[in-house]
């Protein structure tokens, strides 16, 4: 006799229906573990199920104990939470579900429970369980039902106790009632109802859903689950569920226009999943093959239970729509930064020159703050204020800052990848990448080309005013060594590119929050606001802030992060410095002025000049890559299409590397979008 059979016989002999609750559940966990075995093959598990049935049929004494055990199990356990609520947030919110999943990861479940949904994860802990349950064939399921799970057995002594079949039907109806009440509650909640379309509110699908279900319950109780009245009621309930799902879809239209809420989006996703669960339960109710339907339902619940433990899946699915909203505004703004004609290049060059001129003043103010000798935090704070004020002025003047645009332009280009069926979609997208990089080359040229001579001019002005040297030679040499092309410049520049990307995320979130709470309408129409500003000015202010809140937020948040993040990160022992190409060029220009013409013979200078190029390329690559990957996720571009895009970009880089930097003509079969001057928020 094999080891597997000996293990099974030992399990059968250990069955004790009179054992304490936890011991009985531990026995069932061991039995299912034996079925699962130590392989990953569902066919092996199915073969062991057949072996279990064969052994049970040969042992009437075991069957008697088993039926007693099974009756005790059904009497003690509450299966309604398993069928109705497994995989759903207890409180119907993102935060509660996050906390629930954390607790499940950190605190294991106890087998001493009467809640079948809690025991379920211990009984079926592996994804293999879902596969072998689904692989059970009709003959094996029929033998299981007739041998182990008799529907006509009584739960306890006496003929007055309900049968197992009655218990299953009652539990199924209770689960349907519980799940439907949750669907109706979400649909009638204040947040969701306020965003339903007027037509859906008039039809009242969520309000009538429990009434339709009650009709089904009465038909099943009075005539049986497969009677004509019951089947008609099942069809009516399915139609009502479809009406609820269609009504919920109108909420998304409102959210896209008026701002996204992760909480509402999470509730809607839970509602859709509950509707699917209810339809699966209805299939068990109306089927003439209940064993197969039950096995398929259990397989589905195993997968749901497995997925419900994943924190990554929760965060990914719950923020997908918010990511789309964050990138939507950036996509609209980013179109202005992709220049295509010669006139656009010259306009962007002028805007970049203006930004470089102002950042020369920013550079000297930053050096002055460093010379004061403030503590790390306060030095970072005032540097951040300096950057933020400069970026806001650049925005208001219609100028631009190099390498800040990729975080905006990446979503604009990713939006072009929504439809990958067009024959030239990928190549046209690569053309857009080429246009973007050319635009960045012009922006960097304008910034760096003006910041260095203006820094020189300011240094001479300071000397003429008699304010002495702006820095000492030791500090100047330190600046050159700090920006060595082969030093940590590339790491710091990549981190700065990450801050550029993060500022665009903050801007998108701030605009979404502003629009979701209708603050533009508050500014335009609130009595206290209109009393102070006047009706006309209040309306102008409301419109202005709706259109520009993201620009103000992006520039202020970027400035503060550039100043504060380095000292905060350094506090934890992680070295970090700001490496923005324009600011780096300004500091190197100040060092050159201090050291004089002799510095031209020092290798340190030319390594630092190389550091400017490394900084610019890394700023651009880091911010664009992060924003582009987020936009691909928000636009639901599949992995296959992503590989096509990456391959096409690689081919273009190998065949025409000069086209990414030089203003040469590229193939472009699709009509270009109309170009525009950099907007007021170009900073």
pLDDT on residue 459 = 87
Q: Could you give the CA distance from residue 260 to residue 294 in angstroms, rounded to a whole number?
A: 38
pLDDT on residue 412 = 60
- Residue 116 falls within a domain, yes or no? yes
Q: Which of 580, 574, 584, 550 is nearest to 562 (CA)?
A: 580
Q: Could you give the CA distance from residue 133 to residue 131 in angstroms, rounded to a whole number?
A: 5
pLDDT on residue 49 = 93
pLDDT on residue 683 = 46
224 and 143 co-located in one domain:
no
pLDDT on residue 287 = 82
Q: Per residue in 405-445, pLDDT tens?
A: 655 555 566 566 666 666 677 777 787 777 777 787 888 88
Region 565-593 average pLDDT: 92
pLDDT on residue 382 = 95
- Residue 508 falls within a domain, yes or no? yes
3-class secondary structure, 73: helix
Instruction: Point out which residues pair with 115 in neighbouring strands.
Output: 78
273 and 336 co-located in one domain:
no
Do 443 and 400 touch, CB atoms closer than 8 A? yes
Angstrom distances, CA of residue 471 to CA of 376, 377, 474, 590 = 19, 22, 8, 8
Instruction: Point out which residues pair with 163 in neighbouring strands.
Output: 154
Bigger pLDDT: 105 or 359? 359
What is the largest distance, in Å, between two alpha-carbon atoms of the chain? 109
pLDDT on residue 675 = 41
For 377-386, 427-436, 674-683, which range has the lowest pLDDT when averaged over its residues?
A: 674-683
Region 62-73 average pLDDT: 90
Do 98 and 90 touch, CB atoms closer than 8 A? no
Burial 467-498 (b: 16+ CB within 10 A, else e): eeebbeeebbbebbebbbbeeebbebbbbbbb
φ/ψ of 115, rounded to 5, equals -95, 110
Do 80 and 117 touch, CB atoms closer than 8 A? no
431 and 294 co-located in one domain:
no
Question: Which of 144-148, 250-254, 381-385, 419-423 is most confident?
Answer: 381-385
420 and 545 co-located in one domain:
yes
Question: Is pLDDT at 679 greater than 50 in this prediction?
Answer: no
Instruction: Point out which residues pair with 154 in neighbouring strands.
Output: 163
pLDDT on residue 337 = 58
pLDDT on residue 418 = 62
**pLDDT bracket for residue 289 (50, 70, 90):** confident
HEC string for 159-221: CCCCEHHHHHHHHHHHHHHHHHHHHHHHHHCHHHHCCCCHHHHHHCHHHHHHHHHHHHHHHHH
Do 550 and 503 touch, CB atoms closer than 8 A? no
372 and 245 co-located in one domain:
no
Q: Could you give the CA distance from residue 35 to residue 8 in angstroms, rounded to a whole number?
A: 9
143 and 119 co-located in one domain:
no
What would the two tokens of residue 218 be? 């009465």
Burial 64-82 (b: 16+ CB within 10 A, else e): ebbbbbbbbbbeebebbbb
3-class secondary structure, 78: strand
pLDDT on residue 32 = 93
- Residue 314 falls within a domain, yes or no? no
Q: Per residue in 493-527, pLDDT tens?
A: 999 999 988 888 888 788 888 888 889 999 999 99
Bigger pLDDT: 661 or 55? 55
Which residue, of 252, 279, 309, is where some domain finishes? Answer: 309
What would the two tokens of residue 30 be? 């061991």
Question: Is pLDDT at 315 greater than 60 in this prediction?
Answer: yes
Q: Helix 60-76 crosses helix 21-36 at what angle (to 10 degrees)?
A: 120
Which residue, of 309, 341, 366, is where some domain finishes? Answer: 309
pLDDT on residue 670 = 42
Q: Which of 457, 455, 448, 482 is nearest to 590 (CA)?
A: 455
Region 189-216 average pLDDT: 93
484 and 632 co-located in one domain:
yes
Element at 482 (helix H, strand E): helix 473-482
Region 350-377 average pLDDT: 91
Q: Taking CA 214 as the corner, what is the angle to CA 212 and CA 219, rounded to the nearest 5 degrees?
A: 100
Total number of domains in the chain: 3
561 and 510 co-located in one domain:
yes
Domain that holds residue 561: 322-660
Burial 213-226 (b: 16+ CB within 10 A, else e): bebbbebbeeeebe
526 and 572 co-located in one domain:
yes
Q: Residue 227: which region, alpha, beta or left (left: phi > 0; alpha: psi -120 to 50)? A: beta
What sign has the CA pseudo-torsion 471, 477, 480, 484? negative
- Residue 680 falls within a domain, yes or no? no
Q: Could you give the CA distance from residue 395 to residue 397 in angstroms, rounded to a whole number?
A: 5
pLDDT on residue 397 = 92
**pLDDT bracket for residue 669 (50, 70, 90):** very low
Q: What value does the mean pLDDT of the chain take?
A: 84
pLDDT on residue 665 = 58
Listed in sequence order, the DSSP H helices in 224-289 are 228-258, 262-286
| Surface-to-core class of residue 158, CB atoms within 10 Å of its CB (0-12 exposed, 13-18 middle, 19+ buried) | exposed
pLDDT on residue 266 = 80
Kindly report the CATH number assigned to the domain that includes residue 474: 1.20.1080.10
Q: Per residue in 448-492, pLDDT tens?
A: 999 999 998 998 888 787 765 557 888 889 999 999 999 999 999
pLDDT on residue 678 = 40
pLDDT on residue 410 = 56
297 and 170 co-located in one domain:
yes
Region 130-149 average pLDDT: 91
- Residue 415 falls within a domain, yes or no? yes
pTM above 0.85, yes or no: no
What would the two tokens of residue 516 be? 């979701």
What would the two tokens of residue 571 be? 């506090």
pLDDT on residue 421 = 67
Question: Is pLDDT at 205 greater than 70 in this prediction?
Answer: yes
Question: Is pLDDT at 116 greater than 80 in this prediction?
Answer: yes
- Residue 316 falls within a domain, yes or no? no
Question: Is pLDDT at 681 greater than 50 in this prediction?
Answer: no
**pLDDT bracket for residue 630 (50, 70, 90):** confident
371 and 500 co-located in one domain:
yes
For 66-70, 553-557, 593-597, which range has the lowest pLDDT when averaged over its residues?
A: 593-597
Do 583 and 483 touch, CB atoms closer than 8 A? no
Q: Could you give the CA distance from residue 109 to residue 105 in angstroms, rounded to a whole number?
A: 10
- Residue 33 falls within a domain, yes or no? yes
Which residue, of 309, 334, 365, is where some domain finishes? Answer: 309
Q: Taking CA 423 as the corner, what is the angle to CA 420 and CA 429, rounded to the nearest 5 degrees?
A: 60
452 and 587 co-located in one domain:
yes
Distance of CA 667 to the CA centre of its chain: 35
Q: Which of 46, 50, 52 is nearest to 30 (CA)?
A: 52
Region 343-361 average pLDDT: 88
- Residue 679 falls within a domain, yes or no? no
Q: Could you give the CA distance from residue 512 to residue 524 in angstroms, rounded to a whole number?
A: 18
Question: Is pLDDT at 603 greater than 70 in this prediction?
Answer: yes
């Amino acid at each position: 006799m094999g080891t597997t059979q000996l293990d099974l016989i030992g399990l059968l002999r250990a069955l004790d229906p009179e054992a304490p609750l936890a011991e009985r559940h531990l026995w069932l966990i061991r039995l299912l573990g034996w079925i699962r075995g130590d392989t990953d093959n569902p066919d092996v598990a199915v073969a062991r199920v057949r072996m279990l049935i064969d052994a049970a049929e040969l042992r009437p004494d075991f069957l008697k104990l088993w039926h007693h055990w099974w009756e005790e199990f059904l009497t003690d356990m509450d299966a309604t939470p398993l069928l109705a609520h497994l995989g759903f947030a207890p409180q119907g919110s993102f935060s509660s579900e996050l906390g629930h999943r954390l607790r499940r990861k950190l605190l294991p479940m106890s087998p001493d429970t009467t809640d079948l949904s809690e025991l379920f994860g211990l009984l079926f802990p592996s994804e293999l369980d879902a596969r072998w349950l689904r692989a059970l064939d009709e003959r094996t399921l029929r033998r299981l039902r007739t041998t182990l799970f008799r529907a006509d057995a009584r739960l306890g002594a006496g003929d007055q106790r309900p049968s197992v079949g009655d218990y299953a039907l009652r539990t199924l109806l209770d689960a349907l009632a519980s799940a439907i009440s949750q669907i109706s509650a979400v649909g009638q909640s204040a947040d969701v109802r306020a965003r339903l379309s007027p037509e859906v509110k008039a039809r009242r699908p969520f309000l009538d859903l429990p009434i339709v279900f009650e009709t089904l319950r009465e038909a099943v109780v009075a005539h049986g689950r497969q009677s004509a009245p019951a089947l008609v009621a099942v069809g009516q309930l399915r139609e009502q569920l479809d009406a609820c799902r269609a009504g919920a879809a109108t909420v998304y239209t409102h959210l896209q226009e008026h701002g996204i809420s992760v909480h509402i989006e999470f509730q809607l996703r839970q509602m859709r999943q509950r509707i699917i669960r209810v339809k699966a339960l209805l299939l068990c109710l109306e089927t003439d093959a209940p064993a197969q339907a039950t096995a398929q339902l259990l397989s589905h619940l195993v997968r749901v239970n497995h997925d419900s433990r994943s924190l990554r899946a929760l965060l990914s699915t719950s923020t997908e729509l918010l990511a789309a909203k964050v990138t939507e505004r950036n996509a609209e703004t980013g179109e202005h930064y992709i220049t295509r004609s010669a006139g656009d290049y010259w306009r962007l060059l002028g805007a970049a020159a203006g930004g470089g001129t102002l950042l020369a003043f920013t550079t000297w103010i930053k050096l002055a703050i460093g010379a004061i000798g403030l503590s790390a935090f306060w030095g970072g704070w005032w540097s951040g204020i300096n950057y933020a004020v400069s970026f806001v002025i650049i925005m208001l003047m219609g100028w631009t800052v190099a390498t800040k645009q990729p975080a905006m332009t990446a979503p604009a280009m990713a939006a072009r990848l929504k439809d990958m069926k067009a024959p030239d979609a990928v190549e046209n997208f690569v053309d857009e990448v080429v246009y973007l990089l050319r635009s960045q080359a012009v922006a960097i040229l304008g910034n760096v080309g003006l910041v260095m001579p203006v820094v020189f001019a300011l240094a001479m002005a300071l000397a003429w005013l008699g304010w002495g040297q702006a820095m000492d030679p030791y500090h100047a040499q330190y600046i050159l060594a700090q920006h060595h092309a082969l030093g940590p410049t590339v790491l710091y520049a990549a981190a700065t590119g990450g801050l550029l990307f993060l500022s665009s995320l903050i801007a998108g979130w701030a605009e979404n929050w502003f629009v979701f709470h209708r603050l533009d309408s508050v500014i335009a129409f609130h009595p206290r606001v209109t009393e102070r500003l006047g009706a006309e000015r209040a309306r102008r202010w409301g419109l202005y802030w709706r259109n520009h809140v993201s620009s103000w937020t992006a520039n202020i948040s970027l400035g503060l992060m550039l100043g504060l993040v380095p000292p905060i990160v350094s506090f934890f022992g992680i070295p970090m410095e700001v490496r923005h190409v324009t600011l780096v060029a300004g500091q190197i220009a100040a060092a050159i002025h201090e050291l004089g013409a002799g510095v031209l013979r020092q290798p340190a200078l030319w390594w630092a000049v190389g550091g400017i190029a490394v900084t610019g390329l890394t700023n651009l690559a880091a911010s664009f890559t992060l924003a582009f990957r987020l936009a691909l996720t928000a636009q639901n571009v599949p992995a296959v299409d992503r590989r096509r895009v990456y391959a096409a970009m690689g081919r273009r880089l190998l065949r025409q590397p000069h086209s990414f930097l030089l203003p040469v003509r590229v193939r472009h079969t699709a009509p270009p979008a109309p170009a525009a001057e950099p907007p007021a928020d170009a900073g």
